[in-house]
Every structure is written in C-alpha cells, then in structure tokens.
Amino acid sequence: MAFARSRQALAIAGVLGLALGAAACGTGNDKKSSNAGSAECAAYEKYGDNDGKKVTVYSSIRDIEADRLAQSWKQFEDCTGIEIDHEGSGEFEAQLPVRVDGGNAPDLAFIPQPGLLKRFADAGKLKPAAAATKTEAEANYSPDWLKYSTVNGQFYGAPLGSNVKSFVWYSPKTFKEKGWTVPTTWDELIKLSDTIAASGTKPWCVGIESQDATGWPATDWIEDVLLRTAGPEVYDQWTTHGIPFNDPKVADALNRAGTILKNEKYVNGGFGGVKSIATTSFQEAGVPITTGKCALHRQASFYANQWPKGTKVAEDGDVFAFYFPAIDPAQGKPVLGAGEFVAAFADRPEVQAVQTYLASGEYANSRAKIGDWVSANKKLDLANVPNPVDKLSVGILQDPKTVFRFDGSDLMPAAVGTGTFWKGMIEWINGKDTATVLGGIENSWK
C-alpha cells in the first residue's frame, strides 16, 4: 500500500515538473528588436543607443488611461529599443514610499503631489534630472510649472499631464431652453443660482467622496475661491505656511464657498441635503446635470471622462464647462490646476532618455492625439487636441496672461494636504464650523 501511494506521488510530481517546464516555454523571450534606422525613427536618434534596456514606471494611472499611456510612447519604444514597463496603482501615494523605503523603487514615477516629490528629494532618494532633461523642460514649460519640481535649487523632472480645475460644468442645451446665460462674474453666478433655485431645482451638484481621498474636491473649492478673493501672493503664503492656515482671509474664502456648499437651497441636486455631499462620489456628482436635476457642477477639465456614454461634450452639446468666474477684478483671471511630474529614482542612461523624451514636444503631441489629455507643454499643437474642453484648457494654460497656481493641498506636507485638510473639509461639510475646522488643520501643521 505504501509502495503504491508513493508511486502515485511520484507520478504527480512528474506531471508537475512537465507542467512547469511547459509554462516556462510558454513565456518565451519576446524582446522587440528596434527599428532604429528607418525614416520615422530619425527623430529618436538623439536618445542614444539603449537597445534592449528596460525602464520601469510607476504611477496612479490605470485602465483606459494606462492603455493610452502605453500607446503614446509606443513609437519611442520601437525606435529606441527601450522597453517602458508601466504599472498603475490606485494606492500610488501610499505605496510609493513603501516601495522606495523598501529598496524597490521604480526607475520613474509620475508624482502628482509636489509635496511628496519634495519629501523624496529632501530624503535624497530622487536623482536630479539630467542636463538634457532640464534643457528640454526649460524650453517647453513656463518657470511657474518648473518651480514645483525644483527643490533647493535642484531640478528633478518635467511636468507631464496637466489639468485645469477652475471650471463649472453645465448643460448648454438646458441653459438655452430656460433662457439662462453663462455667468462671467461671481455676482452673476449667485444670481443665476438664485434663479434656478426659485424655479424649484437645486442649482448645484457637489460630491467629495473619493474613497481614500475623500475630501479633495472640497479643497479645490476653497483654493479656487481663495485665489479669487485674496490673490496669488496670499495663496502662495498660505500653501507654504507663510501665513497660518486659519488666517482670516482663508476663513473668508471658506465662508464664501459655504454660501454655495452649505446652502440647503443650492445643494445637492438629486442626492439629498448638504451632508450628502460627503457621501456622493465625485465621479457621480455631476451626472444629474444630464437629467436636469441640477444645473451647475464645479469640477476640473478631466471630468469630461465621467459623463455617461453618448453625452456630447461641446459648446453646443449636452454638457460643457465655463470658467469659474473671478470675484475681485483686481486679482485678474486666476486659474487653479494640477498635474504630475516625472521624477527619477535611477540615473541610468536609458532612464534619463525616457525622462527627457517625456518632457519633449513630440511626446506631448503624440499623447494629445490619442485624446482626453491636457498638458502645459508649449510645443503642444492645439490642432492635436481633439476634445473641446481639453482645447479650452490647453488654451488657458498656454495663455501667457493666465495667473496659474498649483493645487494647494498637493503642495502642502502630506500630513496636512492629504490628511487634516481633506478630513477638515469632510467635517466642515458634515456640520462643523469654519473656525474649529481651520484651527484644527493649523494645529496639525508643524
């Protein structure tokens, strides 16, 4: 009996061995040979001879967006022979430090928070950008943008994608039917809201739920309003803790945002009372515009991806966006936005080649053509931007008169920017008063 059983076990082991061998054959080695030398590859010769090398990239970009990313650098891969291995994670912000501390850092990371980038730079984990990357970045981006990835005078990498946050989404169709007009000042905006509220519809849709990151859409509101009431200089002092977080000017901005966000007559179209803002996911929040349950939704340019299938996003379509009006004419036309930066944890030549390529105009145009993407790259040709909202955004970003400021919560230290600030906004929506919330956030900033 014992003999029979052991033979059986041996047989199993043998089959296993075969299976393992077969699987090993299945993977094969499918290294692409580069097409270097062909005519269309001439532009990539400057990235040097790195055939057969591999560069790992880590980011928060997933699903369709990740596929588009892979498509956007395909030609670069084919021509240079560098294989770019991209990995997107929904827990990017929490996992990147773990990977870096654990000695498993990616070659490149697309970091959307200058605060996080600074932390890595201060800890000496990041490699300064190569001279070629710096030259390319300086040629293509305004100094305003480059300063976010410059730490203590050292430049760490160019911006990649960008977005414009100062938009209010609306339905041009509904506006036409009801005879409403797009407001160009804050007073007009409030007047319009009152008109809509009087007609029995809740004018605004708001949602700040975003799983781990719940609260961020509310921080954008405060930042956008502060930029309009107090101006860019005060805004810069606020994001760098030059003035306390609970400065009266910030409190004013919060209260002004509150006249919309905490107004039971204004919110929350289709979702319930003010408190429902905290549980409404930001992806779903604007959708009731398409069914007429609300009329206005302040959200970034990338919200274009969130509309239900078949919704026409255009100036004369089902939905479109207008510029979130200025408040104080003396402060000009400020624009709030964000974007990610290509930072390197390795300085091998192929890594620097990819980093330089991603800063180039060729890359920006290659990615823009695929759609749903905005960049502040000056070489980006408007003709290559298919989506009308993206066109509007790129136009704003490239306009030299635009007073651009980066998302404040991303600039602050993580404990504040993605910690107490987010939490504070949730509590504020949930009923806590302005002074308590701002005081609490100020206390957490060391």
What are the φ and ψ backbone dihedral angles of 294, each rounded to 5 degrees?
-155, 175
Q: Mask of contacts with other proteins, 84-123, x by CB under 8 A?
A: ---------xx--xx-----------------x--x--xx
Which residue lies nearer to other proteins by CB, 402 or 409? 409
- Select the residue interacting with other proteins from 89, 255, 281, 444 (CB under 8 A): 444
What are the φ and ψ backbone dihedral angles of 82, each rounded to 5 degrees?
-85, 130
* Residue 349 touches other proteins, criterion: CB under 8 A: no
* Residue 25 touches other proteins, criterion: CB under 8 A: no
Burial environment of residue 163 by CB neighbours within 10 A (0 to 12, 13 to 18, 19 or more) = buried
Q: How far is the CB of 420 from other proteins (least distance, A)?
A: 8
* Residue 309 touches other proteins, criterion: CB under 8 A: no
- Select the residue interacting with other proteins from 49, 292, 423, 445 (CB under 8 A): 423
* Part of the chain binding other proteins (CB under 8 A), chosen from 138-146, 149-157, 187-195, 263-271: 263-271
* Residue 290 touches other proteins, criterion: CB under 8 A: no
> Residue 238 contacts by C-beta under 8 Å, 6 or more apart in sequence?
226, 230, 245, 247, 249, 250, 408
- Select the residue interacting with other proteins from 26, 153, 179, 310 (CB under 8 A): 26
> Residue 313 contacts by C-beta under 8 Å, 6 or more apart in sequence?
304, 307, 319, 320, 387, 388, 389
Q: What is the Cα–Cα distance from 419 to 281, expressed in whole angstroms?
A: 18
* Residue 427 touches other proteins, criterion: CB under 8 A: yes
CB atoms within 10 A of CB 40: 10
- Total residue count of the chain as it appears in this document: 446
* Residue 48 touches other proteins, criterion: CB under 8 A: no
* Residue 70 touches other proteins, criterion: CB under 8 A: no
- Select the residue interacting with other proteins from 198, 430, 433, 435 (CB under 8 A): 430
Instruction: Give me the half-sphere count of Cα atoms (radius 13 Å) on the Cβ side of residue 123.
Output: 11
Helix 421-429 vs helix 434-444: angle between axes, to the nearest 10 degrees?
170
* Residue 39 touches other proteins, criterion: CB under 8 A: no
Which residue lies nearer to other proteins by CB, 91 or 328? 91
364-403 residues near other proteins, rule: CB under 8 A: none
Q: What is the Cα–Cα distance from 287 to 74, expressed in whole angstroms?
A: 34
* Residue 11 touches other proteins, criterion: CB under 8 A: no
- Select the residue interacting with other proteins from 52, 242, 248, 272 (CB under 8 A): 272
* Residue 426 touches other proteins, criterion: CB under 8 A: yes
Q: DSSP per residue over 218-283, as a string?
A: HHHHHHHHHHHHTHHHHHHHHHTTSS-TT-HHHHHHHHHHHHHHT-TTT--TTT-STTHHHHSBHH
Q: Residue written as tokens 């590859």?
A: 41
Residues that bind other proteins (CB under 8 A): 2-3, 5-6, 9-10, 12-13, 16, 19-20, 23, 26-27, 93-94, 97-98, 116, 119, 122-123, 211-212, 214, 268, 270-273, 275-276, 278-279, 413-415, 418-420, 423, 426-427, 430, 440, 443-444
